Structure 1
Amino acid sequence: MAATAGGGDGDAWEICNDHGFVYKRRRVVEQDDDEDDAAAAAPSSTPAPPPEAALRRRRCQALLRLRAKYLNELSRWESLSSDILAPLPAAPAAPPRPPSDPVAASPPPGSSSSDLDVVDGLLVQSEVTEQLLKRLSQACEEINEFCRAHEAALVDAVAELPVWGDPRELMNSLCSPADQPVPGTD
């Protein structure tokens, strides 16, 4: 992943491509000491997996986490939609009330029982509409709460970036140990 560039031995640079992030750094001087190679090889008894396999495994795990997240979100949306689309309970039929006032209970002259049936039907329809609107407003509140939580998570993720911290710490994390200035020599 690194290509060499530069002039002499003391000024050797290499260009590194780290998953799409391209940068230039000083070339690390490799020691040809056989003792150092033997000492470095002794502690690691198991060979490291090839970088492609590790990258593939990491990518697969990230995709599985993303899939689980999307499935969870889909199940939440399905439950919300099923709550909205569920049939409303039928309005209980009101038992006929005995007239307490015979004059007030009698239909006005000129109106028929079909008019009263239409009014009762419209009343039931308005109650069903009221229940539907309550469900929709409840679903909207849940969706708004979900959006607020998602927005808060995004704001927290951006606020935790190292760019917002101490500039010296940021520079130290970006520089290699050889390039870091010694404190007090500025």
Structure 2
Amino acid sequence: MSDTDRVRHDRVTEVRNLLEEMALDSGMTEGSFSSLGMLITDSSLAADEPALRAAHDGLRRLYGKVTRPGEDGHEDAKTMEQRGRLLGLIDVTFWSLRRLPSELQLNLDPHGHAARFLTEIAAEPGLSNAQLSERLGVDITEVSRVGRKLLASGVAWKSRQWRYNCWNITPRGAAYLEQAGLAGRGPAAK
């Protein structure tokens, strides 16, 4: 088992254990919601589909348990708060699963602008639109268009330094490059 597979397996186990603990009557504490939120964030950034699926399915089961009315048929404030938190985490896992590269079907052409854009920023983080335009041999408008697509896919992110965009790859983007066999194809690999 590779290190990446081991980390993913450990994350899934941790998610399941935390959800089991939360299923107990006294298990839905502030700390358990925070811990699960951090695990979901890590899973989303690492494009860890098994952990996100385990979290999503477990949260839905937990929500079903919490939405059952009490003996008197009324909800107390604590139950309403727990239900709201669970719904929020269910939404986060749902949208994280939808943003996974496999779900987005990026299927980048290894010689296309998007794949070359990603490999360039993986090899040299912080490249500007102008630098990418020069390296890819395309117009700045094309760099902006491709960058917006990659940003929306969650595989690249940009920051502003002075008046310029600086592009970096996300952990999800690095995982996508590795899965697609494109890792190490930037200028550093030449």
For the aligned pair, the TM-score class normalised by the smaller chain equals: under 0.3
Structure number with larger C-alpha Rg: 1
TM-score by length of 2: 0.22
TM-score by length of 1: 0.22
Q: Which has the higher helix share?
A: 2
